[in-house]
Structure 1
């Protein structure tokens, strides 16, 4: 019999006996099966009320205290031997097939984002004065005062199997003093509860404002009930999955969507000359291999400008760099269906390269650790994952924009290897095209939480504001107004 593990986190005020089990979709032959706890149909109201009560306790906390608690939690998780991280690694490896080192590197990247210095920077960037979350603050432009009010409850619907990703929405919601109801993904259901165990040790009040649950993707009643609990909803997943969540939201709810996106790298001859081929290839291998290429920020292709260092040269160097990365951080195991699809793709690439070796190329590891192809457009629209990267030659900067234009609104993250005026020109063109993040190659997979995710503010879009203006009691020039949030 497989071992059963619960993926839910329940605050102290919620009785597990009042909930029912929902089995997480998984391989029937897996050694470990997971389940989540959720309310029975028609009985979600007490959970919603409990979260609203938890929100009232959050409101009384200064935002600086919340930042400090999140920082301390991530300090503990920076230790790979931290007890809850060890348990999370074990469960993530079992659920995803990622190698232990791939899991650890993913967690290092993801949780390194939520240190106090970075969280304070995003608060200042989006809100000006973070203390607007604590109460009315003077606003000289308004000649009055203003306060930011977060949702009472935020429901988050996750998808995919990227280790640590749910922390992003939990952190965002808690920063704006919102309680959180989070549905974890079947692809990686374990991390969130382990993370909250540490948070509960650091600041129990914060962990008591989060419920981690699960329901099957076909359970429309549970989805609608969970959405009905919330003032704000955050959805991750395919365009179809996000549309299902969007259809459940009402006009009174804030809705934030992170649907299907495509990311690519770009390398010009000027950048290759400035940085050198081996280093550029090493950076590109880092982009492709982090999170095993399952994150939307990972490149599906690298576009290489024709010139002295050709696309084939780059592909060969990238294959070498991918092999070196995999030697220190293997991919792990791949589910049978995905492994079969990858082998079919490899066979097709090998056949194409054999038929036209001048235009196409194919490099691979002996196992499934990495795959590099030299191809000619179009850029893949759907993510591949499992460290499969296409190198595509383009004539010049104009060719980059031409190749990416068919992706339209799905363009997200660009690793732009260019220098000088060419960099500035290309960055402007890519921004107009739809890209919402541009970084240097090698930094594609490690965006900061300060980045406006998918082109939108991370925190501000969850908030509503109340301004006091045209009132003598709230003028910064005449009074040190202090109000209650």
Structure 2
């Protein structure tokens, strides 16, 4: 198949998965190839660049090791591999939730089933990964915790290309409290159970941060009624309840610097105001911190090392505030969970990082 043929089929199949992949056409996919590889047919034939002819070559075997928290990254990674024409092996999480091995991340299986036989033949799935399978891959894309990434990396051999996507954290920054900012922040903090690397863990406020917390709580409650949170495990719910108890005690001792807002009868949503600028991970599942914006970036703390996305409101007015942090992605508040097709996941060029090149010198 040519790149154009793959783009046409992938665009059609992806329509039913726009919630995870976004909306795009075959021309958008070809523009993406052209943007990263220099020509829409760079994978099909040699293209002249100066006094050489050059052609992009996909990996013979591209291994995707994906986590089970959301289907987004796995679907996006598989889409990229199929677009460049690689032979893809998808290593799914190793502990199915039932006897049916499609129970984990069923969207990825469904996406594969929606493809034509010619594209289906470019993908296979596994729950277990022995060294023979692992070492057969030219390129390995791994998505998961830092511990999982480290374990995978230790098993690779020098000739393999490794593209890791480990622990990441995101946050938002707004200029001042408003109901509109609260509604947008609630969307970013609620979608997909706040499980992805693009989900904000904190909303920073330049002015009057404590006034924003009750506004956000109202917006979280309203959104919870419209879009209920997906089911979570007993341990996940327990982590939220334990955090609430700790914060409830702190709020009673120091109400000026700690405030807790929570859903009444369950753990559907939690908003925590702390007069502390340090960025820390939340337990996820719609638990969001509200914090004052610090006077210096250093006050954000060590989690900056893992920065993924910063959502802003207003985008243009606050861009200068965060550019020095060099996040891989900056977006408008309310769009944190909707990356563009061309986005550079963790700063990687998602197509160019996968291919190698063959040159003919004229």
Q: 2:56 aligns with which of 148, 151, 163?
A: 148
Q: 1:353-376 deviations in whole A, cap 9, x for unaligned?
A: 121111211111122211000013
Q: Matches of residues 76-475 of structure 1 in structure 2 within 5 Å?
A: 77=16, 108-113=18-23, 115-139=25-49, 142-185=50-93, 186=95, 188-199=104-115, 203-215=116-128, 222-269=129-176, 277-306=178-207, 310-366=208-264, 367-377=266-276, 379-394=278-293, 398-399=295-296, 401-418=297-314, 423-431=318-326, 435-469=327-361, 471=362
| Partner-residue secondary structure (3-state), 1:66 | helix
CA RMSD of aligned residues (A): 1.9
Q: CA deviation at 1:418?
A: 4.1
CA distance in 1, matches of 2:73, 2:319: 31
Question: Does structure 1 retain, via aligned residues, the 8 Å contact 2:168–2:306?
Answer: yes
Moved over 4 A (4+): none
Query: C-alpha deviations, 1:276-301, integer Å up to 9, x for none?
Result: x1111111011111111000110011
Q: Secondary structure at the match of 1:131?
A: coil
Q: What secondary structure is seen at the aligned counterpart in 2 of 1:132?
A: coil
Question: For 1:323, what is the secondary structure of its paired residue?
Answer: helix
1:46-85 C-alpha deviation (Å, 9 max, x unpaired): xxxxxxxxxxxxxxx110111111111122x1xxxxxxxx
**SS of the residue aligned with 1:243?**
helix
Distance in 2, Cα, partners of 1:165 & 1:113: 16
Q: CA deviation at 1:164?
A: 4.1
Decide which of 12, 16, 19 is 1:72's aligned counterpart: 12
Distance 1:424 1:340, change over 3 A: closer
Distance of 1:348 and 1:406 partners within structure 2? 23
CA shift at 1:161, angstroms?
Answer: 1.9
Task: Give secondary structure in 2 for the equivalent of 1:445.
Answer: coil
The 3 A distance-change label for structure 1 pair 456 and 419 is closer
1:191-244 deviation line (CA, Å, top 9, x unaligned): 221211111xxx2111111111102xxxxxx34232112111000111110011
1:477 is aligned to none
| SS of residue paired to 2:353 | helix
Show structure 2 runs of 5+ residues with no match. 98-103
Q: Tell me, yes or no, if the aligned pair for 2:198 and 2:308 is still in contact at 8 Å.
A: yes
More helix as a share of residues: 1
The 3 A distance-change label for structure 1 pair 427 and 124 is farther
Q: Which residue number in structure 2 is paired with residue 46 of structure 1?
A: none
Number of residue equivalences:
353
Q: Which has the larger radius of gyration?
A: 1
Change (3 A) 1:440 1:159: same
Shift of 1:405: 4.5
CA contact (8 A) 1:223 1:245 kept: no
Q: Matched residue of 2:41: which SS?
A: helix
Q: 1:279 to 1:121 in 2, by over 3 A?
A: farther
CA contact (8 A) 2:22 2:341 kept: no
Asked if the contact 1:237/1:259 (under 8 Å) is kept, the reply is yes
After superposition, the C-alpha distances for 1:118-140 in whole angstroms (9 at most, x for unaligned) are: 3233212211212010010122x
Quickly say closer, same or farther: Cα 1:411–1:213, change in 2 above 3 A.
same
Equivalent-residue separation in structure 2 for 1:419 and 1:242 (angstroms): 33
Please tell me whether the aligned partners of residues 164 and 191 of structure 1 are also in contact (alpha carbons under 8 angstroms).
no
- In the superposition, the TM-score normalised over structure 1's length comes to 0.69
